[in-house]
């Protein structure tokens, strides 16, 4: 495969980062030779950022083994690892950091992120306990830049960004989930790097799209459309590829060709998808304004109804089931409980500007999407 990669300045880190990054979470689930071939192919097409985490099984050790055997100079790669905020002592945190360096077989990490600032107490711990250790590690040359990943609320993410303490953010933001859009502006004001988490999987299981979605996204595949949507935004710098086979690079590479196609064909697809929502959801479409929260039963009403929107408008039922059945199973990584917990108290109803019959829609969504519970991949 040819090197056709594009690079963007990763915010104030001043690193030139490839617009696609290789995520390593799934590499641990395939034979080592296949993982190696995937890493080599990614580097061969110009991907220079590889992302991992202490929580991804043996991913760090696997990458250390693969990368140390490659004839590529260390300084040509940007390596990121992540550490989950825990109640560990600062000494223990330092040991964790050293552990990442040892497993990755490097003497410094370009980037280290706190993995999942998902709740206010995580941010508090990071600011009070975690950051001083990483600042010290920075001074000692172990770590160059510090960031965070998050599955938290929009308010919490904005609060973390406004501390000014972080060089980059790993963010969930996709065509089919744009609630975090204000983060892009806030991160840009702080000149932070923006890394988009899982556009293919969490962005809608777009590697296995339903027929209706495929037709609506023509002339692109749904995944290429989703990549182009993100790449058209200059505030986004790199997209994570959770691939496990060299072949899976093809769609990413295709989305780099003729970027101006977005402004004609991409916008046409976007309009078609919006029209499908209007036609198929009519007055029951959830506008994703989040005004209905909080729910005393802990139901994440907007997320449940987003999955309903996608299932009914675009036949994304399989994706809806995948996400819906994670409610109650993944703690702060995916907060909320299933919609059958609705007590019909009515608290949310006056807050909904669309005047949606929320309890009825929740019950319908539960019937549509409820299946056996699902756990997160790396747990």
**Active-site residues: which are they?**
56
Under rule CB under 6 A, residue 358 binds ligand SF4 = yes
Which residue shows structure tokens 């061969």? 44
Per-position x/- string for 301-330, each x denoting binding to ligand SF4 as judged by CB under 6 A, each - no binding = xx--x-------------------------
Q: Using the rule CB under 6 A, which residue among 77, 347, 370, 374 binds ligand SF4? A: 347
Q: Using the rule CB under 6 A, which residue among 161, 169, 286, 311 binds ligand SF4? A: 286
Under rule CB under 6 A, residue 282 binds ligand SF4 = no
Which residue shows structure tokens 């204000």? 182
Q: Using the rule CB under 6 A, which residue among 295, 310, 311, 313 binds ligand SF4? A: 295
Which tokens sit at 207? 């590697």
Of 40-48, 54-62, 75-83, 280-288, the window that binds ligand SF4 (rule: CB under 6 A) is: 280-288
| CB-CB neighbours of 343 under 10 Å | 11
Under rule CB under 6 A, residue 364 binds ligand SF4 = no
Count of residues interacting with ligand SF4 (CB under 6 A): 28
Q: Using the rule CB under 6 A, which residue among 70, 72, 345, 377 binds ligand SF4? A: 345
Q: Using the rule CB under 6 A, which residue among 326, 352, 368, 374 binds ligand SF4? A: 352
* C-alpha radius of gyration, the chain, whole number: 21
Judging by DSSP bridges, how do beta strands 193-196 and 168-171 pair with one another?
parallel
Under rule CB under 6 A, residue 50 binds ligand SF4 = no
Give me the least distance between CB of 363 and ligand SF4, in Å please.
10
Which residue shows structure tokens 């490097």? 106
Own/partner pairs, 366-371, CB within 8 angstroms, 24+ separation? 366/338, 366/339, 366/340, 368/308, 368/311, 368/317, 368/320, 369/307, 369/308, 369/311, 369/317, 369/320, 369/321, 369/324, 369/325, 370/321, 370/324, 370/325, 370/338, 370/340, 371/321, 371/324, 371/325
Of 159-167, 196-204, 211-219, 356-364, the window that binds ligand SF4 (rule: CB under 6 A) is: 356-364
Under rule CB under 6 A, residue 289 binds ligand SF4 = yes
Give the CA distances from residue 225 to residues 252, 259, 265, in Å, rounded to whole numbers and listed in that order.
10, 11, 9
Q: Using the rule CB under 6 A, which residue among 59, 126, 213, 292 binds ligand SF4? A: 292
Distance CA(143)–CA(82), nearest Å, equals 12
Interface residues with ligand SF4 (CB under 6 A) are 286-292, 295-297, 299, 301-302, 305, 342-348, 351-352, 354, 356, 358-359, 362
């Amino acid at each position: 495969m040819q090197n056709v990669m594009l690079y963007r300045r990763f915010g104030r880190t001043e690193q030139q980062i490839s617009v696609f990054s290789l995520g390593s979470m799934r590499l641990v689930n395939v034979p080592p030779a296949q993982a190696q071939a995937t890493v080599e192919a990614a580097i061969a097409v110009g991907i220079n950022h590889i992302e991992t985490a202490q929580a991804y099984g043996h991913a760090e050790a696997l990458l250390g083994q693969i990368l140390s055997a490659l004839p590529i100079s260390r300084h040509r790669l940007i390596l990121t690892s992540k550490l989950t905020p825990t109640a560990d002592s600062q000494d223990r945190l330092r040991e964790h950091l050293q552990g990442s360096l040892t497993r990755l077989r490097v003497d410094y990490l370009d980037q280290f992120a706190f993995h999942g600032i998902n709740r206010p107490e995580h941010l508090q711990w990071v600011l009070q306990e975690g950051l001083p250790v990483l600042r010290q590690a920075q001074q000692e040359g172990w770590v160059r830049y510090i960031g965070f990943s998050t599955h938290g609320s929009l308010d919490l993410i904005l609060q973390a960004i406004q501390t000014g303490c972080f060089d980059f953010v790993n963010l969930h933001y996709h065509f089919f989930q744009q609630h975090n859009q204000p983060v892009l502006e806030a991160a840009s004001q702080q000149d932070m790097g923006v890394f988009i988490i899982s556009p293919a999987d969490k962005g809608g299981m777009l590697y296995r799209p339903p027929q209706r979605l495929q037709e609506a996204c023509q002339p692109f595949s749904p995944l290429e459309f989703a990549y182009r949507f993100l790449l058209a935004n200059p505030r986004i710098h790199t997209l994570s590829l959770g691939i496990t086979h060299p072949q899976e690079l093809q769609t990413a590479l295709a989305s780099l060709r003729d970027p101006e196609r977005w402004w004609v064909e991409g916008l046409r697809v976007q309009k078609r998808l919006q029209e499908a929502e209007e036609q198929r959801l009519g007055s029951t479409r959830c506008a994703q304004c989040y005004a209905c929260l909080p729910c005393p039963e802990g139901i994440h009403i907007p997320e449940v109804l987003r999955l309903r929107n996608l299932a009914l408008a675009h036949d994304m039922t399989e994706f809806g089931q995948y996400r819906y059945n994670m409610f109650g199973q993944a703690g702060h990584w995916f907060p909320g409980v299933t919609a059958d917990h609705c007590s019909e108290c009515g608290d949310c109803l006056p807050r909904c500007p669309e005047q949606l019959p929320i309890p009825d829609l929740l019950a319908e969504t539960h019937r549509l999407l409820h299946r056996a519970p699902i756990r997160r991949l790396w747990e």
